[in-house]
A and B are shown apart, each in its own frame.
Chain A
Amino acid sequence: MEPDPRDDPSESSRRQFLKAVGVAASAGAFLAGCDEATREAFFQKHFKELDKDELAKVIARLEKDYSAKAGKPVTVDTTPAMDGVLFGYALDLSRCIGCRRCVYACVKENNQSRDPQIHWITVLEMKKERGVDIFESDPYYDSKEVPRPGHFYMPVQCQQCQNPPCVKTCPVQATWQEPDGIVVVDYNWCIGCRCCMSACPYGARHFNWADPSVPIDELNPVTHYLGNRPRPRGVVEKCTFCVQRSRHGKYPACVEICPVGARKFGNLLDPASEVREVIGGKRVFILKEELNTRPKFFYFYGV
C-alpha cells in the first residue's frame, strides 16, 4: 500500500487523476470485452429514473433476453399504479385449512425458484391452546390430512406495511412503496446486502442464494418489471400482491386458488370493496402491531 502525498495538494489531485484514469481504463477494457446487452445491463439506471425511451429500451432488452432463454415470448409489463387505489388484503383464520395451495399457486404465478425453493407465503401451524404464538408455531408441518386436530393455520406473506421497515434500511433505494401501497424491488438495482431481510418482522423477503431455476415449460410468460419477471442471482424478492395481475383488475393468485375462500383482496379506498367489508363487519387484527409497521394485511375470524 503506497501512501499519498497529502501535504501537497497539486500532487495529490494529479495522483488521484492518474488513478482515476487507470481505474476507468481497466473498467473500460473489461466492459469493452462484454457484449452490448451486458454493458447496458451494468449501466442501467434506477427504475424510477428511466425516462420513457430509456424504459422502452430496457424492457425490449429484458423481453429479448427472457424470451430467448424461455424459448417462448415473455412480456414485461410496466403498468403503473392506478389513481385512487390502495390495495389491502384480509385473511380468515377460521376458514384456512393449511392446505398450502396458495403457497404453490404463488410459486407458479410468480416464477419463484424451484431449486433452491423460494416461497413467498409461509403457512404456520399453530396450537389452538396457545393462540397466535409465533415462537410455538411450525412452518414445516407435514401430514396427510389438514387441518390437524388441535391446530389452526396462519399463512404469512408480505404484509405490505404502510410504514415499511425494509424500505427504510435499503442503502440504495432499490425497494420502495408504490402509490397503490405495494412494496416492490428493482431487481436490476438491488445490491443484495440483505438489510431489508434483517429489518422485515414477517420473514417476507427472500434472497436468491443461488441462480434461481424455473423449468422452461413452467415459466409464467406474463410478467411485470416490479413483480414476477425472472430474477437474477444475488438479489432479494418478495410478494407484490401479484402486481402483474392486480393492476389489471385481477385477484392475486393466492386469492384465486384458495379452496375455502379464506383470502379477500381489494381496494381499501373503495367502501364497497370486499376487504373494506371485512374490516367494517368483522373484528380484524394485524401481526406484530407493537412494531408500528401498519400492515395492509388483516387477519380476522370469519366464523
Chain B
Amino acid sequence: MRLFIDFLLGSAKQMLKGNRSYWGWVAFLLACIAVGLVGYASQAGSGLIVTSMRDQVSWAFYIGNFTFLVGVAAAAVVLVIPAYIYQWKPIKEIVIIGELLAVSAITMCLLLVMTDVGRPERAWHMAPWPIGRWNAPSSLLAWDALVLNLYFLLNFAIVTHLLFRAFTKRDYSHRFATPLILFSIPAAVSIHTVTAFLYNGLSARPYWNSAILAPRFLASAFCSGPAIILVVLQVLRRYANLEIKNEAIWKIAELMAYAMFLNLFLFGAEIFREYYSATEHLVFTQYVFTGVHGHDTLVPYAWASLFCSVAAFIIFLVPKTRRNFVTLNFGAFLIYCGVYIEKGIALVIPGFTPSTLGEIYEYFPSRTEVMVTIGVYGAGFLMFTLMLKVAIPIINGSFHLDSRRAAEAGIVQDAATSH
C-alpha cells in the first residue's frame, strides 16, 4: 500500500516534469481536447442533428473512427506474439508500449461510442441483469461493449503490474502476468472480430454482409497498429534514451508487409466477386470507387486509400526501403492514411449508400463531428503521453523506488530488472 502510494505520487511527479517540447505537446493535446469539448457542447445542446448523419446514413464518422481505433488497440497487443515466441530483448519494451497504446486506443473507442449514442446517460441499461437488460447473446453491440471493457481492464492490469514491479526493481510475477499476457492475444483478436461482426451480421447491408469482413479487419489492423508503434519507438529512441535495436523495428516492418499483402489480397477477392457477378449489390462498391449517378464524394478518398496501401506494401516488402528510415517512416505514414481512410470512411458510409430504400444521401462529416473527433484523439494521445512519461523512466531505470524505502518495506530487489 505505502509502496503503491509512492508509485502513484512518483508517477504524478514524472508527469509534471518535462522540457519545453513536452509541455508544448501537452498544451497542443489540451487544445485538441478543448476543440472537442466545444464541439460536444453544441451536440449536447442541439442533439445529433449538428452532425451530418441522418436516417439514411445513421452511423458515420464517429463509428468509422471507432472501428479504426479498435484495430489499433488490437494490433498493438499482437506484437506480444513475436516477443514471446522469439524472446527478442527489445520487444519486451515494445510490448509495454503496445499495451499502453491499446489502453489509450480503447479509451478513445469508448469515448467515440458514447459521443455517437443519442442518450449516453442511459448507458447503464447495457449492464447485465438486474441493473440493465444486456441483450446477449443476440446483440453484437452488447458483446462488443463487454469485450472492449474487458480488454481495457486486462491491458491496464498487465501494464500496471509490469511497471509497478519494475518500479520496485523486482521481476514481474510470472504466475500473475504470463497467463494474462497470453490471454490478451486472443482477446485482441476477439475485440476486432466482434467489431467486424457488428457490421457483418446485418443482412440488410450487403456491402458488409461478406464472410471475409472479419479477416479483412484483422489484416488491416495488423498494418495500422504497428505503423503507429514504429514511429513511437523511433521518437522514444531519440528523445527518451530507450534502447531499441534496428532489428526489432525492421522485423515489425516485415510483419507489416505480410499483413498488408493479406489485406490487399482479401480486398482483391472482394472486388472480384462484386464486379464479376455484378449483382445489384455492386452499387455500394461502385459508390466508393466510381460514384453512382454523379454522386462521387468518396471516390477520391477510396483511390487515395488504395494508392497508399499499395505503395506502402512495396516499401515494406523491399528490404532496402524497409531498412532505410526515411522510406520506412514514409511507408508507415502511407499505411496509416490508407487504413484510416479504408476503415474510417470507406467501410461505414458506403454500407448505407444507397440506403435500404435506394436513396443516395451523400454524407460528409460536419464541422462538429470533426471537432469532437479531434477532441477524442487529443484525450487518447494525452493519456498515452502521460502513461509513457511514467513508463519510459521506469524501463530505462531512472525512475524507481529508492533503496532505503525498499529496504524498509523488506523488498528483495532483483538486480536483473535494473538497467
Contact = CB atoms under 8 A, between A and B. Distances in A.
Give the interface size bracket for B toward A: 35 or more
Interface of B: 1, 4, 7-8, 11-12, 46-49, 51, 53-56, 58-59, 103, 113, 116-123, 125-126, 132-135, 138-142, 145, 156-157, 159-161, 163-165, 173, 176, 198-199, 201-205, 280, 283, 351-352, 354-359, 383, 386-387
B358 A171 contact: no
Contacts of B113: 193
Contact of A6 (B56, B161, B355): B161
8 contacts: A1-B386, A3-B8, A3-B156, A8-B4, A122-B357, A193-B117, A211-B47, A236-B118
Nearest to B132: A172
B32 to A, nearest CB: 17
B357 A202 contact: yes
A243 interface: no
A64 interface: no
Given A6-B161, A207-B58, A46 B133 contact: yes
Interface string A178-191: 00000000000111
Given A7-B173, A193-B141, A203 B357 contact: yes
Given A4-B157, A197-B58, A135 B354 contact: yes
Contacts of B58: 194, 197-198, 207
Given A209-B48, A234-B118, A198 B202 contact: yes
A73 B56 CA distance: 35
B202 A169 contact: yes
A134 B357 contact: yes
A171 B139 contact: yes
B47 A210 contact: yes
Contact of A4 (B46, B160, B198, B387): B160
A131 to B, nearest CB: 13
B160 A3 contact: yes
Contacts of B160: 3-6
A134 B280 CA distance: 10
Contacts of B120: 191
B142 A235 contact: no
Given A168-B139, A172-B126, A192-B117, 9 more contacts: A2-B11, A3-B163, A5-B4, A156-B357, A193-B116, A195-B141, A198-B352, A235-B119, A291-B203
A233 interface: yes
B118 A165 contact: no
A233 B133 contact: no
Nearest to B140: A169
B323 to A, nearest CB: 35
A122 B358 CA distance: 12
Nearest to B51: A209
B133 A172 contact: yes
